[in-house]
Every structure is written in structure tokens, then in C-alpha cells.
A and B are shown apart, each in its own frame.
Chain A
């Protein structure tokens, strides 16, 4: 992996004639985790899909640039809500999927090493349906790490997990995604407070930034400042959701 670039998203998004969000300017620091919160329907996922180059419906006027001036295509890994594993491939095959899709021979020793780090060695030959929700999410994280991309987009990746498993996945993700430029869309203020080096709330009128807690990421769930930020985020989210 080469140095993780910073990103700048600057512009306005429209769907048809309707403005979805913006004008806004979102700066995502290189090698850091940036969390994006916001009420439902405000366009968080759309923004993430625009960065990934996946959105074909939204018209985005502006620019989405990497600080090193190079194109983003081919430098992004995506981890979405629900693990989205291929049910017909085993865990190892899912982790090594990217290379197969690019027509390259998969690096199976590396895939096994990453599965080992995720505590999945014993499950390498199993199909996703034989795994728990948390295990499936770990396979998805392993698959993301296999891609070894400097920019990682996370779209509410842990929202379907129970609280304990979610906290565990947040620790794993923060540990293993360290050094990459991460944009994480979430609707969980607690997740943003634990994970974000920077935290922003996307609203219909623009972008609000919230000062993150000072502790190292991933922050302890019982850290007082983290809890305070979580509370502040929730209050701001409710205010944003109540706005016309």
C-alpha cells in the first residue's frame, strides 16, 4: 500500500432537479478515520457512493479529488452494511475474491494470514451461511484488508450486529485499518465517537463538524469524554432531523 492520500469532496449533489445535499466541502485527512453522521435520507450513502464512483443517478457538480492528484479508481476498498459475502464461496474464497474478479491468481497464503489475524482460521473452509453475523463481518473485513487499498469506504458496516459484537468489530477495524484514509458512514453516534479522528454531521443545509474526543482510536466504550461526545452527537442529530 502506498501512502494514503487525503480526499476533498467539494460540490453539490442533485437527483433530477432536486438538490440532495450541498454545496459543501468535506476534507478527509489522509491516513485517518473520518466519520459521517446524519439523519436518514440526507445523502450520506450517496456521498460515499459518489466517492466510490458507483452512483449513476446522482448528478454531482464539483470535484472529488485525492491530495496526490492521482485518480481514485482502483485505490478504493468498500465495506458495506451486511457483509455481502458470496454464499457459494467458502470463507477463504470470499476473502480472496478481489484477485479472482480482476483475473489475477489469488494470494492464498496472505488470505490465510489475514484470516488468522481475524481469528477465522478454523472457519476458512466454511460457507458464509455456517457463520454468525459477527464472523461474517470479520470475513468482510478480511476481504477489505486483502484489497490493501489506501482508501477504505465503510457504509454502516456494523449496523446489523448486536452491541457487543459491534464494539468488537470496531476495535478490529480500527486496529487493522490504521494508516488508511477511511470514510465511515454511520448512523450510530457511539460508533462515530469511538472511531472518528474527525466527525461530521451531514444535514440538508450543509456540514457540521464536531470535535472528537482526545483519546486514541478506538476509544474505550466507557471513556467519559467519548460518552459525552456521543451524547452531544445524538443531540445534534436530533436537532438536524427535526429541522424542516
Chain B
């Protein structure tokens, strides 16, 4: 209860400072609207915001699912095969030197203005953290467990599936927690570059029409979405790690 109180107090303080700044500096609403105005915009435009938020949420969730699956498969493949490690890893590291942001226009060109290019952006931005966290954990299987499996006559596939992968799940979980925060960034960048729907699009549109209150309202919803996603993924990972058993 005291923690909720502290969060509420902190939020109240931030909002108070914000409102005070607007009033004292006499900022016009098309430069910086106060929190009350933003709340009003949030309420009056709730249907519009919800519609666009749903699109963004769909992009993020699909990107997250695909990125997690693809990252998981890549990590297992790399951990299983030294040849794959030598061939693929330098490529992966190099690909990280290219800012994903710079790829957004190309992805939009290739995949169009719809969901696909935003899903691809979310996927690309989370692929490396997921792969890397899971792969590192796969390569750190406790040696006694590997010895045990080998003496027991486990094939490499069963050793991977019954020992190395379960032992590395905490690594995958930390990758997914990161991904939950990164994926919305990817989707928003995709929307900025070219879209007709989504919170990123709505923010650009509101900005262009000097509806800064609406822009902040959309931004607030986006932050809320990211926070909720992180919480959900974190909770799911915890329950899942607890439940991983026969």
C-alpha cells in the first residue's frame, strides 16, 4: 500500500511541476499544454486513441512473438553447431552496427505502409537481444550437467532439449523482458516513416496540426502500453520459469 502511495505521490509531484511550469512561464498550449489539457484531450479523443493504440499493440505483439520465436531458434541453432557459430555470428554482430532506424524507410518500401513493415521493425529491433541473451545462457550450461548427460548416453539433440534449453530459460526470459521494452520503439519508428494508422502516426498527425495535447495523450498511452507489456512479459516469464517441469 505504501508503495502505491509513493508512486501516486511521485506522479502527483511530476504533474504539479509540469502544471506550474506551464502557468508560470505562460507557455501557450501549442508549445506545451498542461497536464489538465492533456487529460482532457485523452478523454475527448479516447475512441480515436484507442483505435490507433490497438493497431500499435497488434504490431508490437506480433513482432514480439515472431522475434522471440526466431531469436529462440537462432540461439539454439548457434549453440548446437560450431559451424553455424563461425558463419552466422560475425554477420549478426555486423548487423548490429547498422542502426535499425536507418532500415525503416527500406522496410516500408519493401513491405508497404501496412502492418507488415512495423512488425518487421519490431522484430528486427528485438531479434538480437533475444538471440544473444538466450545464446549466452545456452553456452553456459553447467559442466556437471553436460558430463552427466554424456555419461548417460544422451544424443546431442536430447542433451540440448532436455538439459541445455531448460537450463538456459532464465537467459531467454531476460532477453524477452528487454524485448518487451524495445518492441514498441521499433513499431513506432515504423509508423513515423510511413503509416496511416497507429499511435506513432497519430502523434505525427497531431504534431502537424499543432494538437500538442493530443500528441502527449498518445505518448502517454504508448508509455502505458509499454509498461503493461513489460509487466505482462515479466509475470509470464516468472510463472513459466516456475512451472517448467515435466
Contact = CB atoms under 8 A, between A and B. Distances in A.
Interface stretch (B79-87, B94-102, B128-136, B157-165): B157-165
Interface in A80-135: 80-82, 84, 86, 88-90, 93, 97-98, 100-103, 127
A214 B155 CA distance: 44
Interface residues of B, number: 21
A52 B155 contact: no
A52 B144 CA distance: 13
A84 B142 contact: yes
B152 A82 contact: no
Nearest to A92: B246
Contacts of A47: none
B227 interface: no
Contact of A86 (B153, B155, B159, B166): B166
Nearest to A96: B246
Contact of B151 (A78, A82, A127): A78
A52 B158 contact: no
B147 interface: yes
A148 B162 CA distance: 21
A102 B154 contact: yes
Contacts of A54: 147, 150-151
A84 B246 contact: no
Interface in B196-245: 244-245
A88 B245 contact: yes
A80 B147 contact: yes
B14 to A, nearest CB: 41
A90 B167 CA distance: 15
Chain B binding surface, main DSSP class: helix
B144 A101 contact: no
Interface in A153-187: none
A147 interface: yes
Nearest to A104: B153
A71 interface: no
A55 B163 CA distance: 20
Contact of B246 (A52, A74, A90): A90
A101 B159 contact: yes
B13 to A, nearest CB: 42
Given A89-B246, A93-B246, A80 B155 contact: no
Nearest to A77: B151
B243 to A, nearest CB: 9
B21 interface: no
B244 A82 contact: no
A205 B118 CA distance: 68
Interface string B69-93: 0000000000000000000000000
Question: Which of A52, A76, A77, A100 has its CB near the most chain B CB atoms (within 10 A)?
Answer: A100
A90 B243 CA distance: 11
Nearest to B159: A101
25 contacts: A52-B151, A54-B151, A77-B151, A78-B147, A78-B148, A80-B144, A81-B144, A82-B144, A84-B144, A84-B145, A86-B163, A86-B166, A89-B245, A93-B246, A97-B148, A97-B152, A97-B162, A98-B152, A101-B149, A101-B152, A101-B153, A101-B159, A102-B153, A102-B154, A102-B158
Given A81-B144, A88-B245, A102-B158, 11 more contacts: A52-B151, A53-B151, A80-B148, A88-B166, A88-B244, A97-B152, A101-B153, A101-B158, A101-B163, A102-B154, A103-B158
Interface of B: 142, 144-145, 147-155, 158-159, 162-163, 166-167, 244-246
